[in-house]
Amino acid sequence: GENVEQHPSTLSVQEGDSAVIKCTYSDSASNYFPWYKQELGKRPQLIIDIRSNVGEKKDQRIAVTLNKTAKHFSLHITETQPEDSAVYFCAAPYPPGAGSYQLTFGKGTKLSVIP
Amino acid sequence: KAGVTQTPRYLIKTRGQQVTLSCSPISGHRSVSWYQQTPGQGLQFLFEYFSETQRNKGNFPGRFSGRQFSNSRSEMNVSTLELGDSALYLCASSENAGGEKLFFGSGTQLSVL
């Protein structure tokens, strides 16, 4: 199946700094890459997603970049705020390129934004 | 629009028992997926149902099963519970089959003693 590796597992940044989380995937046919945010004790929520025909997508302070050649995609959060503190999960589809698939999630990155 | 609703919120069972978890998707969503979340393994896919048909199944033993009803509500059953089944079970709904734009419920926290 698809193998998704996520780094780092923990990340601490000062408020106002940027945070970057990176995921690598194994199958070059994968074509959809979402990011989910899970605050402590709450449900995961989709914050941004990207398709393989796009190299970058932005939504206010959040952006995702995709490098298909290297098979990795990254989440960028700028001007971090304390409310950005959460666990972030990346995911990739399996089987890749299929019309109906399951998501394979990375193990998560715990982001702490220090005021 | 009401979100994804899971019941019960907490469950305590003993080894060997069975358990049924329920999930009501967002109105109009026909796909329901189930995930197991544990601190060590993260989020792992169990299965997905779309229009009452199982579309995909993850790498879990046959003790884990599910079904979907005509109103898109879904149930998940775990038989012969083991200690290792202790986890947060999350369901997620989406408009279409597959894993795009999932809306998760708050989960059922299952503890097996």
Q: How confident is the model at residue A99 (pLDDT cuts 50, 70, 90)?
A: low
> Tens digits of per-residue pLDDT, B34-83?
999 998 888 999 999 999 999 888 999 999 999 999 999 999 999 999 99
The distance of A78 to chain B (nearest Cα, Å) reads 23
Instruction: List the structure tokens of B106.
Output: 């708050």
Residue B47: closest C-alpha in chain A: A102
How far apart CA A30 and CA A26 sit, in angstroms, is: 8
Answer for the pair A72, A24: CB distance below 8 angstroms, yes or no. Answer: yes
Instruction: List the structure tokens of A104.
Output: 């394979």
Position A96 scores a pLDDT of 62
The distance of A28 to chain B (nearest Cα, Å) reads 18
Chain A residues closer than 8 Å to B99 by CB:
32, 34, 91, 93, 101-103
Instruction: List the structure tokens of B36.
Output: 């197991």
